[in-house]
Amino acid sequence: MIEEGKKKLWKDYQKEIADDKYFYVRSCIRQTFFPGAETTFIKILQKELGLDLYESAHHTTCTGIAYHSDILPFETTMTVVARQFAIMTESGYTNLVPSCITSFGVYTEILETWKHFPEIEQKVRELLKKATGREFEIPQNLAHASDVIYKYRDAIKEKMKKPLINKKTGEPIRGVEHIGCHYAKMFPKKGVGGAEYPHVLSGMIESWGGQVIDYPERRQCCGFGFRQYLVQANRGYSIACSKKKFESMEPYKPDFILTNCPGCPMFLDKWQYVVSEMEGKTYGENGHGIPVLTFEELAGLVLGYDPWEIGLQVHQVSVEPLLDKMGIDYNPENKYKLYKKNNSEKPEMPNFLKCY
């Protein structure tokens, strides 16, 4: 691998990321999948970096899942998104930061559509006005939440308490990154580092002391393709995608998988359990899985946040092996303290995948 070649390429894919005053829009599903991720993002921006982030209770789904499943026509999606823009405008913000990669893709696609077909934008403005009485300004800057963390990765490094260094060996902790398909595969110029060798997540790992591992199936979809998982009969395709990735990354012995999409960490995490139940196969060390983190969770860990405060106990694959390598102090007793009424009660353990 010629690292210089990647660096040369990254120069062509440096997007503008606003430095403050963000209108943050949450994902429909991340709060269920990884409930601590978005609150951790907000905490990092507001408390650690002292930035202005605002979110509105009036924000709704962007319709991305329905749009990509052909349930809603594009006109409807555009009008719903126009409403989000209107709420941003009414709130006095101009920099839109979606938490979700699908939303980021939907927003990007709509803004590009309007750039090339202004008459469509005009029509959507009329539809929104008719339906809600609202008007909107187009965001001056659109950046995914991972772009913002990427932008401030060195500022986070300055406050870092637990670098990505194996405490026992002193070696960098090894991470593989997995980028959501809708981040840059549709519009490579809209992603930090482009579509083929994105830098948005690998830049964080490098900055925080870790080592990024490239592996052959890095670009492969995680299996969260909407048509693959929405129809139950198609879910074999979904797990096959994830399994392909696990098999490909396994020989490199990664310490963790880093993601920036709602679906990817969900499936890369949960499918490890399913593969273990189906085939008795696990991909981490000593019967464990490979821990899967969102970028906010990783940022939270390096900043020294309590792993159970940022929701890592809801991961299917136990994160403890990574926490131990990073030298993070955690109380195992607190892991399931919110689980049921009895503090000592633990969730049922899988048959093969070793969990704590």
284 sits near other proteins (criterion: CB under 8 A): no
- Closest to other proteins by CB, 219 vs 281, is 219
Q: Which of 48, 90, 112, 196 binds other proteins (CB under 8 A)?
A: 196
Residues with Cβ within 8 Å of 149's Cβ and at least 6 positions away in sequence, in order, are 41, 44, 156, 204, 295, 296, 299
- Closest to other proteins by CB, 200 vs 355, is 200
- Distance in angstroms (rounded) separating the CA atoms of residues 201 and 259: 7
- Closest to other proteins by CB, 64 vs 254, is 254
251 sits near other proteins (criterion: CB under 8 A): yes
DSSP state of 233: G
Q: What is the crossing angle of helices 101-116 and 74-90, to 10°?
A: 100
Q: Pick the piece of the chain touching other proteins (CB under 8 A) from 141-149, 150-158, 194-202, 263-271.
A: 194-202
- Distance in angstroms (rounded) separating the CA atoms of residues 254 and 245: 12
In a 10 Å sphere around its CB, with 0-12 CB exposed, 13-18 middle and 19+ buried, how is residue 326 labelled? buried
| Dihedral over Cα of 292, 296, 297, 299: its sign | positive
Helix-then-strand count for the chain, H and E: 16, 8
250 sits near other proteins (criterion: CB under 8 A): no
- Distance in angstroms (rounded) separating the CA atoms of residues 217 and 249: 7
57 sits near other proteins (criterion: CB under 8 A): no
Q: Pick the piece of the chain touching other proteins (CB under 8 A) from 19-27, 161-169, 189-197, 326-334.
A: 189-197
Q: Please give the angle made by the CA atoms of 194, 196 and 202, to the nearest 5 degrees.
A: 75
Token digits of residue 72: 């809603």
- Closest to other proteins by CB, 123 vs 244, is 244
199 sits near other proteins (criterion: CB under 8 A): no
**Residue written as token pair 């579509």:** 195
CB of 184 to other proteins, least distance (A): 11
Q: Pick the piece of the chain touching other proteins (CB under 8 A) from 4-12, 42-50, 70-78, 225-233.
A: 4-12
CB of 193 to other proteins, least distance (A): 10
- Give how many residues touch other proteins by CB under 8 A: 18
Q: Which residues inside 214-233 make contact with other proteins, applying CB under 8 A?
A: 214-219
- Closest to other proteins by CB, 129 vs 244, is 244
| Residues engaged in binding other proteins (CB under 8 A) | 1-2, 5-6, 8-9, 194-197, 214-219, 251-252
